[in-house]
Amino acid sequence: MKSKAKQEVDFYKTVISARWRNERFIMTQAIMLYGMFDINKSDFTFEDEKVKNYSRKMFTVRCRGKLLFRRFPADLYGLCFKYESPIFNNVTE
């Protein structure tokens, strides 16, 4: 019987793809919540920001200066993420 088990498996692309799908959904919902229209690529900013009550900078996405979401790792392995967004009503300013 031939084994289909692999000696090495890399789930990096799968994790990144799932994270990006979730983040696009969060961005879309936040943009709809703000009622923004005619958005261009140049309206978005992606940067690490220092946030009150957090010891490290958080990856932050804004559109026209309004917060869409913040992401930070929830584990040491980079497989679990937590989000702050107006759609979740959990934003720290």
The mean pLDDT value of the chain amounts to 91
* Residue 55 pLDDT grade (very low, low, confident, very high; cuts 50, 70, 90): confident
In angstroms, rounded to a whole number, what is the distance separating the alpha carbons of residues 81 and 23?
11
Domain edges within the chain: 12-84
**Better-predicted residue by pLDDT, 2 or 72:** 72
Rounded to whole angstroms, what are the CA distances from 9 to 3, 4, 21, 44, 60? Answer: 15, 12, 22, 35, 30
Q: What's the mean pLDDT in 7-26?
A: 91
In angstroms, rounded to a whole number, what is the distance separating the alpha carbons of residues 59 and 46?
7
Residue 63 pLDDT: 97
pTM for this structure? 0.83
